[in-house]
Amino acid sequence: MEPRPIDTVRLQAIIDGRRNERWPLIPLLQEIQEAFGYVPSESIEPIAAALGMFPSQVQGVVTFYAGFSTEPKGKYVVRVCRGTACHVKGGRSILRLMKKELALEEGETSSDYRFTLETVACLGACFLAPTMMVNRTYYGKLSPPKVASILGQYRKDREEE
Amino acid sequence: MPPSSNEEERKLKEISITIDGKKVACEPGTNLLDAARMGGIRIPSLCHHPDLRPHGACRICLVEDERSGRIMASCVTPAAPGMSILTASPRVLKHRRNIVRLMISEHPESCIVCGKGNRCELRQIAAQLGIGDPELHPIPNYRPLEEANPFIVRDLSKCILCGKCIRADHELVRVGAIDYNLRGFRSRPATLRNMGLEQSSCTFCGTCVSMCPTGALSIRGGGYVGTPERESPTVCGYCGVGCSLQLGAAGERVVESGPSHLPDTVNGATLCVRGHFALDSLNSPNRLTRPEIVSDGARVPVSWDKALDFLAGRMTEIKRSSGPQSIGFMGSSKCSNEENYLFQKIARAVVGTNNVDNGGLLWGRGALRSVMERMGWPRSAPLDSIEKAGAVLLLGADPTQTAPVLGYRLKQASEHVPLIVVDPRKTDMVFFARHWARVAADTDLDFLNALAATILKRGGHDAPYVDRFTEGFEPFRDRLLKLDIPYALETTGVDPASLEKVADLLARGKVAAVVGQGILAQRNVHEIMNSLLNLLLLTGSAGPEGGGLYAIPRESNQTGAWDMGAVPDALPGRQPLREDGGRRAWERAWGGKISPDQGLNMVRMIEEAEKGTLKALFIMGENPVRALPEQDRVRRALQKLEFLAVQDILETETSSLAHVALPGAAFAEKAGSFTNMEGRIQRFEPVVKPPGDARPDWEILDQWAARMGDWKPYASIEKVRREIARLVPSYAALNEAPAQAWVRAVEGKRISFSLPVDSKPLPKEPDLPYTAIFGSVRFHLGCGTRTDQSERVRAFPVEGAIGVSRADAGRLGIRAGEKVRVASTLGHIEREVRVDQDLAAGMVYVPTAVHANDAKNLVGLSSPDGPWFPGWKSCAVKIEKLER
């Protein structure tokens, strides 16, 4: 399955909404990522033209921050924590289970653009270790059955669609 | 330029700091690295460059604050009063060594095959710090070598991330082809989408290559000829910006080119693709290396004596049989001042004709003639003044293609001075412009008149200036106030709001007007230039206090060739022939009569050759068969001549027709001087010897003139320079040290307004519905005779695709990459098409110089406006798709 083509009208509308702000580049990139799930390569030139920057400069900012992705991501981005507390509490086995369940390696996206598996250095919720996030939702005190049930939730979504 | 007058003021503000126990005075805010340098203490650095903003990337320039013990990067630390700094304390050295060790541990161990060799700054600094083996585990960062383009090799495994290439690109050249990509260990300079340079917006100016401290960026093809044995400065022989070059030679061959390290040059650390990479044309196999004459229908090599005797003999014969007016002299805006002086002196004093011209006519001299007369000459127009103007008006010019280094200066200035682009095309300058007035082709005159009328109606003109420095204001004002602005704007396609915006921007102070071929080669150029000068007068911009008129010359010595009188209507010093006093002075200086009647210009020479009235032509460093319109017509006209002598560095379309061909020397092979567009006279000395038996052009001229009779040989270039300095007041400094002088200006007279005229509509051809606009590509200069001899330029795919608007492409059913035929009443060309989103419908953009400059076959040699205003910028065409 191919990622959906970019809605250029929507992209331009987002850019035009912020072009006259002061220091608009990063908020603009965030908004685009929010809308499309990543910063599409096609957005670089229109952003540069609107902000009076060189396209290479925009690309430099996009690639500098780990928070911006230039690749399309799945509908659900799973971020498994690899922080010290999670590690002590068995975070490694959670990650192993996740890889097996989703059949994805770290950083990969499923071919149906459903799931993306990532790891992060710390989610800052050590008291809930081991933890992970799916999009913006935190899941803590994970165990293999709990992981399976959470994934089941997101998979069920698909059947409902 | 005079030294800055606020020297004393600067002294008062100075603060004092101590560096390595030595007191150093500097301005507050100076960074410690520069302050140390002023005090004679060199702090090593890899990322600092005086022309770039401090960056603090390499950390080699660490120094220690003696009081606090803090270690800091001196390039980004401003000096504060009372500071005490150590630049080489044991702690500093320890840290500095560690940084260099880390850099080397990441650097490939390929020094032995690296073209940078001993010029590598990383290697030099490591040696100074006594680092051989870094004694660290190597952490190589291999990257594929990029050499798909013929100019620059990128080996980013050798990159130390100093960012000089990126900063040079963003701050000086302002193309923005590269920036840092990713971060940390993976970080590297990259183009958009990490493509090869040839697929990016890179213009191959090579500024990054000359800045790179290591072998990460290098000149392609440099490795095969070895590193230069010696380097010496000269002046670039391509365009009229007059960049200062440093040429590297191995034996008698120029193998490398870069910006010179001299102070106060036009270009600083920058160059363009031509000056940096296209000078391999000097080593072309098509160089003329021995004199040849046509004998029994075949061209045979002969001795210099024989060739010069033959030339002098034939010229003397023709002068005797058909009179001096049957001989023409076509000189060169690429030859030096000294050569142009001798050239026209031979024509006037030895042969006795004013039939002298130079290639400057091709690039708008005809139009500048009358406007310069109005403004008064001599005058210099330093590019530095552009920075001081209130606004820059760029008309019909794309310096990013034609004069790239001027383009950099204008882009840099646009940061402080609003740039207004008036052009039918969206050139690369539009990105930097505060406003782009998109005028329809050939309607600049109406636009300028409407603009002047708007300023007058607002009362926004500079009244004190107009009172003091001009005359003829009242009739001008009365006429313009009656102008119907909306009606005048109708033809231009510019909307009234756009005009108002331009008027607003011009109200901010003096205006610097920069004009290019879009104006200078336009049909009604005479009227446009008059209206433009009126506008400059209105805004108080034609005087010494700032602003001014900058016409972009195409060739290295276009200004100088005119100054030296290699023109049919003026003597050296631009002394008009018809003025008796000035002419008599030259008659006395040279001995003999000079006719007050103007001679034939280039176009007229061809027309007269065609009629058979011009019998002999001496051409020096010009290639009319390729450069002039209607190439076949020009060729046939030259073939009709009884005698054609060509003196050139290359075998060209023209020299192949010659009865005698004399091998001259290129700028790098002789001494001379060029005067650039600013009026900066730059002397140069030979870097290498001319190839084979070739000789400096001034020597050849001197030697054949001596064979014509009454001519005392100069035999030395100093003697020529002394004569020019003595007889041409504006060139009085030509023979003095230093090697760079300025044209000396005289006191200005009042400049008169001229009455505005309406544009005459260009004739419409019903069968030819499109307007072809001709333009240049940055890889070629002029008609491309020399740049076509560059191996590197030839290896780069400059196809000169014809630009067609999206609307027209749709209507004609043409897609990008397909071939079309573009035809005018005179001829046709066939090329690939490029769909240009920014082109207006009805317009076709045709790059010149490529394909033997065949685009010139679409326009007519003889202009209905007379030989001074050729109007070769545009013509009516039809366009049709070619079936495959």
Average pLDDT over residues B867-876: 89
What count of Cα atoms within 13 Å lies in the side-chain half-sphere of residue B560? 34
Average pLDDT over residues B568-597: 95
- Residue B189 C-alpha, separation from nearest chain A C-alpha, in angstroms: 9
In a 3-state reduction of DSSP, which class is residue B78? Answer: strand
| pLDDT at A157 (0 to 100) | 66
Does residue A126 register a pLDDT over 70? yes
Q: What residues of A are in contact with residue B178 (Cβ under 8 Å)?
A: 56
Average pLDDT over residues B778-799: 93
Helix or strand run (H / E) with residue B617: strand B616-620
A 31-60 → B contacts, CB under 8 A: 41, 44-45, 52-57, 59-60
Tallying the residues shown for chain A, one arrives at: 161
Helix or strand run (H / E) with residue B467: helix B463-469
For helices A8-18 and A44-51, the axis angle rounded to 10 degrees is 30
In a 3-state reduction of DSSP, which class is residue B181? Answer: strand
Pairing of strands B15-19, B84-86: parallel
- Residue A25 C-alpha, separation from nearest chain B C-alpha, in angstroms: 16
Question: Sorting pLDDT into bands at 50, 70 and 90, what band is B2?
Answer: very low
Place of tokens 């594929």: B144
CA–CA separation, B318 vs B103, rounded Å? Answer: 72
In a 3-state reduction of DSSP, which class is residue B572? Answer: helix
Residues 6+ apart with CB under 8 A from B422: B393, B394, B395, B396, B436, B437, B439, B444, B447, B502
Which of B161, B180, B400, B436 is the best substitution to test chain A (most A C-beta atoms within 10 A)? B180
Question: Sorting pLDDT into bands at 50, 70 and 90, what band is B110?
Answer: confident
CA–CA separation, A38 vs A36, rounded Å? Answer: 5
What mean pLDDT, rounded, does chain B reach? Answer: 93
Which ranges of B539-681 would DSSP assign to H, the alpha helix? 558-563, 580-590, 602-611, 624-627, 631-640
Does residue A97 register a pLDDT over 50? yes
Does residue A87 register a pLDDT over 80? yes
3-state secondary structure B632-646: HHHHHHHHHCCEEEE
Please spell the DSSP secondary structure of B50-69, one letter per residue: TTS-----S-TTEEEETTT-
- By C-alpha distance, the chain B residue nearest A42 is B193
CB B651 within 8 A of CB B350: no
Q: Cα-atom radius of gyration of chain A, to the nearest Å?
A: 18
Beta carbons of A64 and B192 less than 8 Å apart = no
pTM for this entry: 0.94
Does residue B365 register a pLDDT over 80? yes
Average pLDDT over residues B604-615: 97
Beta carbons of B176 and A41 less than 8 Å apart = no
- What residues pair up with B773 in beta bridges, in sequence order? B845, B874
Beta carbons of B190 and A56 less than 8 Å apart = yes
B90 cis-preceded (ω within 30 degrees of 0): no
Beta carbons of B183 and A63 less than 8 Å apart = yes
Question: Sorting pLDDT into bands at 50, 70 and 90, what band is B118?
Answer: confident
pLDDT in tens, B518-564: 999 998 899 999 999 999 999 999 876 678 999 999 999 999 999 99
Average pLDDT over residues B57-82: 95
Which tokens hold the place of B793?
A: 């330029």
CA–CA separation, A111 vs A113, rounded Å? Answer: 5
In a 3-state reduction of DSSP, which class is residue B408? Answer: helix
Does residue B170 register a pLDDT over 50? yes
CB B565 within 8 A of CB B572: yes
Chain B contact for A107, CB < 8 A?
no
Question: Sorting pLDDT into bands at 50, 70 and 90, what band is B400?
Answer: very high
- What residues pair up with A139 in beta bridges, in sequence order? A132
Average pLDDT over residues B588-602: 95
Residues 6+ apart with CB under 8 A from B317: none
Beta carbons of A44 and B177 less than 8 Å apart = no
Question: Sorting pLDDT into bands at 50, 70 and 90, what band is B1?
Answer: very low
Chain B contact for A12, CB < 8 A?
no
- Residue B393 C-alpha, separation from nearest chain A C-alpha, in angstroms: 20
Tallying the residues shown for chain B, one arrives at: 884
Phi/psi of residue B146, nearest 5 degrees? -110, 115
pLDDT in tens, B242-273: 999 999 999 999 999 999 999 999 999 999 99
Place of tokens 């600049």: B444
Question: Sorting pLDDT into bands at 50, 70 and 90, what band is B11?
Answer: confident
Which of B169, B192, B199, B837 is the best substitution to test chain A (most A C-beta atoms within 10 A)? B192
CB B627 within 8 A of CB B853: yes
- What residues pair up with B680 in beta bridges, in sequence order? B742
Amino acid sitting at position B169: D
Least confident of A3-17, B86-100, B312-326, B811-825: A3-17
- By C-alpha distance, the chain A residue nearest B175 is A54
Which of A54, A58, A64 is the best substitution to test chain B (most B C-beta atoms within 10 A)? A54
- Residue B157 C-alpha, separation from nearest chain A C-alpha, in angstroms: 19
Residues 6+ apart with CB under 8 A from B68: none
CB B648 within 8 A of CB B661: yes
Does residue B3 register a pLDDT over 50? no
- Residue A62 C-alpha, separation from nearest chain B C-alpha, in angstroms: 8
Question: Sorting pLDDT into bands at 50, 70 and 90, what band is A158?
Answer: low
Q: What residues of A are in contact with residue B191 (Cβ under 8 Å)?
A: 56
